[in-house]
Structure 1
Amino acid sequence: MNIIQFRDLFRDTLSSQFKIIEVDFMFKNILTSFFKFNPTIIALDPQKRLSKIQISKLNHSLLLIKNDCPLQYVTGKSFFLNLEINVDSNVLIPRPETEELTLWSTKSLTNGDKVVDLCTGSGCIALALKKNNPSITVKGIDKSERAISLAKKNSKKLNIDIEWITTDIIDFHEEKSSLDFVISNPPYIHPSEITNIQPRVINYEPKLALFTPNDDPIFYYKHCINFANNALKKGGKLFFELNPIYYKKVENQVLKSNFSKVKIKKDFMGKKRMLSAIKS
């Protein structure tokens, strides 16, 4: 079987789920990710024969995508602010909103800052912050051992020095007034919202990183705020990615917890997605 035949098989199999342009993008992405093929190979060498191993890999990838597995989990890769991040089903796939949060927060970093990224997952935020300003020291915290293991692989691959710690945010402590900067994209989807979530998210992404307890939609924010309130220096900065539904609850919790100058920022979709605050 050659490349163009397999491209057509992808189109035929996935045409009911995706637009042709999306199918072609996924097919090219898989070719480059697994086989290091140049994306132009379909146009330049459409009759190139595929090996049995390549055909097997493509068939498996096609089956996964047909079953709604996100492309990033199929290839094991995602891009975050120009960093190639390894991902698997133990961590969330980095979102554009999280890129926005990271870019926004980066403007507040100063040389030598001590930074903690809570609920770090793949480590994408921590890695991007450190890449942008190598003078800072960064710790990435997550209670998932598998997430931290993947974050360590990412920092090694990218040659970015981060201290990774496996612990629950409830149990994590730093010396009082020792930090300059705390950032977090914690679990923030309430279980009542599950009907609004795409099946590919529910079926493949880690529920541990998605959902809050049923009885408290800002449970993780409260623990992050308590941690930041103790660990941040006066004038230290706090940044959150938000669930727009509960942004006001988080804002109120921050305001009554020894923080000031609270700002809410909208994402590219016009939703209230980010918060920043200063330790009083």
Structure 2
Amino acid sequence: MTYQSLLKTFRAALAGTYETSEIDSLFFVALEHVTGMSRTDFYLNTSKELENKQHARFKEILERLKTGEPVQYILNEAWFLERKFYVDHNVLIPRSETEEIIDIVKQYAPNARSILDIGTGSGCIAISLNLAMPANVWAMDYDAQILKIAKRNAEFNEAGVEFFRDNILNPMKNWEKPFDVIVSNPPYVKASEKDLMQKNVLDYEPDIALFVKDSNALQFYKAIKKYAKKNLSATGVIIMEINESLGTETKSLFEGAYRAVKVIKDIHNKDRFVIATHDQS
């Protein structure tokens, strides 16, 4: 089979599942992963024959794409701030809007010397902060397999993050010194919002990293607030990604305990982050 024929096969097989432009994007992502070829390379080699091993790999990728499985899980890689991260079904696929949290930390805590990432998942936030700032970065998650993935990503991206196992809902570790920044992208999608989500997210991404009960939608933010009371410095800042429909409620949760609390919108003009600090500057 030639590369041109392979593209036609992708388009025909996925026509009922994806738009043509998305099929082409998926094809070229898979092409680069399997062969190392860019889009330009493809158009210069359309009549070139695939190797048998490559053909078998593309067939596997195509079959999984037909089920709606995200390409990031199929290829075990996702991109975050132009860096590659290993992902599998144990962790969420990093979102583009989450990238904004890195700039927010740099803006509100440019001189931070210590940062804690709560619920690190793939490690994309902690690793990106470690590579973008001169701060020492720690990151926690509740599951050993998740931490194994995060450590793998830190090693691949040559980041010096300290990972440890702990559960923010029942934290056990005690710290001698408080952190300058606590950052988190915890589960925040209400169970009642499942109907609004894409099927491939519901079918393949880990529920435990996404959903909370409607009756306790701010469960993780309450835990972060309690944890920060003992583990955030007097001039420290908490920066959290939030449910766009719960900006007011999340802000109210931290008001009273912190002198300055604000909601920040993302690139789509949706309430996406809450910042809490004692520093009003």
Shared fold per TM-score greater than 0.5: yes
In the alignment, what sits opposite 1:262?
A: 261
Aligned mates of 2:194, 2:178 — CA distance in 1: 38
Alignment of 1:42-81 (within 5 A): 42-81=42-81
Alignment of 1:186-201 (within 5 A): 186-201=186-201
Aligned mates of 2:70, 2:45 — CA distance in 1: 28
SS in 1 for 2:21: helix
The answer on whether the counterparts of 1:229 and 1:279 sit within 8 Å (CA) in structure 2 is no
Aligned mates of 2:64, 2:260 — CA distance in 1: 46
The answer on whether the counterparts of 1:117 and 1:139 sit within 8 Å (CA) in structure 2 is yes
The answer on whether the counterparts of 2:241 and 2:274 sit within 8 Å (CA) in structure 1 is yes
Aligned mates of 1:101, 1:111 — CA distance in 2: 16
Percent identical: 28
Alpha-carbon RMSD: 1.5
In the alignment, what sits opposite 1:4?
A: 4
In the alignment, what sits opposite 1:180?
A: 180
Q: CA deviation at 1:176?
A: 6.4
Q: Is residue 150 of structure 2 the alignment partner of residue 138 of structure 1?
A: no
In the alignment, what sits opposite 1:122?
A: 122
Q: CA deviation at 1:177?
A: 5.7
SS in 2 for 1:107: helix
Q: TM-score scaled to structure 1, two decimals?
A: 0.95
Where in structure 1 are there 5+ consecutive unaligned residues? none
Aligned mates of 1:225, 1:39 — CA distance in 2: 47
Q: CA deviation at 1:224?
A: 1.0
Aligned mates of 2:177, 2:51 — CA distance in 1: 59
Alignment of 1:1-280 (within 5 A): 1-111=1-111, 113-133=113-133, 135-172=134-171, 173-175=173-175, 178-256=178-256, 258-279=257-278
The answer on whether the counterparts of 1:80 and 1:94 sit within 8 Å (CA) in structure 2 is yes
SS in 1 for 2:57: helix
Pick which of 34-43 and 195-204 moved more.
Answer: 34-43
Q: TM-score scaled to structure 2, two decimals?
A: 0.94
Figure out how many residues of one structure are paired with residues of the other and give that number. 278
Aligned mates of 2:273, 2:86 — CA distance in 1: 25
SS in 2 for 1:89: coil
